[in-house]
Chains A and B, each alone.
Chain A
Amino acid sequence: MREVNLEINEGEFVVLAGRSGCGKSTLLRCFNGLIPHFYDGEMVGKVEVCGLDTRQHPPYILSQYAGMVFQNPDNQLFALTVEADVAFALENLSFPRDEIKERVDQALKIMGIEELRDKSTLELSGGQKQKVAIASILAMHPKILLLDEPTSSLDPFSAKQLIDTIISLNQKHRITILIAEHRLEMLLPYASRIIIIDNGRIVLDGNPREILEKYDVIPYGVSVPRIVKVVMHLKKTLNNSLIPWTPLSVEEFVDIIRRWEEK
């Protein structure tokens, strides 16, 4: 990481993008204390999460404010049943039994996986495992959810389902989302902010629509949704009144054209 200055407010939905190895994962780990406590290396500067200085608090405290979900579904599930896994973190934190039960019930409900409660973790599909992983973190009631390429190993359908759930966590439950991803088409319409990282530096930071409109992001390893490319070409041939703002999803695009056609 180099000279990173950043401020993220409650309720934001932030997408971290950039080529493989640009520093997205490293940045995420700064928010829950894995950096500097879990990794060797030198950290200069200060990171404050929910008012807590990450250098002064161990990961197990910070993880209750900023929970993290990883890429590999198998390498973050520890128990043999779904319920036991969702309860795992709370048990480690010595929560009283009835509170654990309440929070587990709640987490399963929010993630829509109540029917998986008694299932063996060995029988789940990739998408289901990731949902359990998120539920097990939600049980700690974190204000922030850090996701490191959570859909990498999933097929597109499961990926979309997972992303839809993450979006609703932000919109319905006001959880601040920081997600590092390559699959941007599904996320961008809902993201309030995109941060593009190149070589450990933040090179672009702002509203996804504006960023994609103004800048060429492909050299940074960021994939531009095909429809945005269509929009760019359209703007060259027609005047801007047809497309007043950059749609980021097929639905938005169709909506704009439809409205124009009605007029």
Chain B
Amino acid sequence: MSTILRGLQFYPGKTIIHKLDPRVKLVISLLLMATAALYLEVTIITIVIVVEALLSIVAKVFSRWARTVYGAAPLIILVFIANFLFKLSMPGQSLSFQSIYESLQLAYRLVAFLASFSIFFLTTTPEELGMALTKMKVPYMYTFAFISAIRFTPILAEELQSIVDAQRSRGLELEKGNIITRLRRYIPILVPLMVNVLRRSYELAEAIEVKCFGAKKNRTYLRELKMTTKDWITLSASITLFTVAIYIRYFSRISIP
């Protein structure tokens, strides 16, 4: 699980991919996903994945990207099995090569989905994400909530560890017992955590008050996203390619393996 998470975390770099406007990167990720959604054919999906791999190489995050894909293997297998069993449970279906293959295709497509978002998150800082949301006219409240989540999650994680340490030091054994007794043993973890979160919220509310949060309706911003020529070119190229993909899918008679 942590390898998947690692592949979704920002990895600093100065490549052209990193420098692209986050909105462009978001669009590219979405287009790649959409392309994968249009097709089940293994060749196309493979092409999509190869494109993503190439992007990750340019962004110098290949190993991390590959690790996400690798780390997602258990998930992929799970999806495959689930889908296959679901197919079998349908009336009139039998164990055939065709149904196995279809389930495989579905699972394989999931790889393309995951991989495309991995690129986005690996090369975009949370701040850029925040700025993208602002530029897209998302109300500030939501952007702020998003940024706060990123800002405070590591702190809460540390706090949780602190609490677990303190309670274990009082003889609390979390590993022992059956499901029911184990759940009860988490009370000494959850209560202090909630209290901590509540207290922290109070202090944060004070601090944000003295920083004039909500004082004016038209909030201004120090930094703003601006599309450069490179951004526009990349964007148009991606849209063009996507249009070609749609065309091939719906309007041409080319058959694809």
Q: Which residues of A contact B (CB under 8 A)?
A: 32, 34, 38, 59-60, 63-64, 67-68, 70, 72, 74-81, 83-84, 87-97, 100-101, 104, 121-122, 136-137, 140
Contact = CB atoms under 8 A, between A and B. Distances in A.
B213 interface: yes
A84 B147 CA distance: 11
A94 B221 CA distance: 8
B86 to A, nearest CB: 42
A140 B213 CA distance: 13
A79 B221 CA distance: 13
B209 A95 contact: no
Nearest to A63: B210
A64 B154 CA distance: 31
Contact of A38 (B206, B211, B223): B206
B58 to A, nearest CB: 23
B147 A79 contact: yes
Interface of B: 125-127, 130, 144, 147-148, 150-151, 154-155, 200, 203-216, 218-224
B207 A92 contact: no
A78 B222 CA distance: 15
Given A79-B151, A80-B130, A80-B150, A88 B211 contact: yes
A80 B219 contact: no
Nearest to B217: A94
Contacts, number: 100
Q: Which secondary structure dominates chain A's binding surface?
A: helix
Contact of B220 (A60, A75, A91, A137): A91
Q: Which 9 A-B pairs give the minimum distances between C-beta atoms?
A: A76-B207, A60-B212, A60-B215, A94-B216, A75-B203, A89-B211, A87-B222, A92-B212, A63-B210
A263 to B, nearest CB: 51
Nearest to A101: B222
B215 A93 contact: yes
B161 to A, nearest CB: 15
B220 A94 contact: yes
Contacts of A94: 215-216, 218-220
Contacts of A67: 210
B4 to A, nearest CB: 21
Contacts of A78: 144, 147-148, 151, 204, 207-208, 211
A92 B222 contact: no
A140 B211 CA distance: 9
6 contacts: A63-B210, A75-B204, A78-B204, A80-B150, A96-B220, A97-B220
A136 B211 CA distance: 8
B125 A80 contact: yes
A97 B222 contact: yes
A90 B249 CA distance: 51
Contact of B211 (A63, A74, A84, A104): A63
A130 B130 CA distance: 24
A93 B222 contact: no
Nearest to B221: A91
B222 A80 contact: no
A69 to B, nearest CB: 9
A165 B155 CA distance: 27
Contacts of A77: 151
A122 B151 contact: yes
Nearest to B199: A75
Contacts of B151: 77-80, 121-122
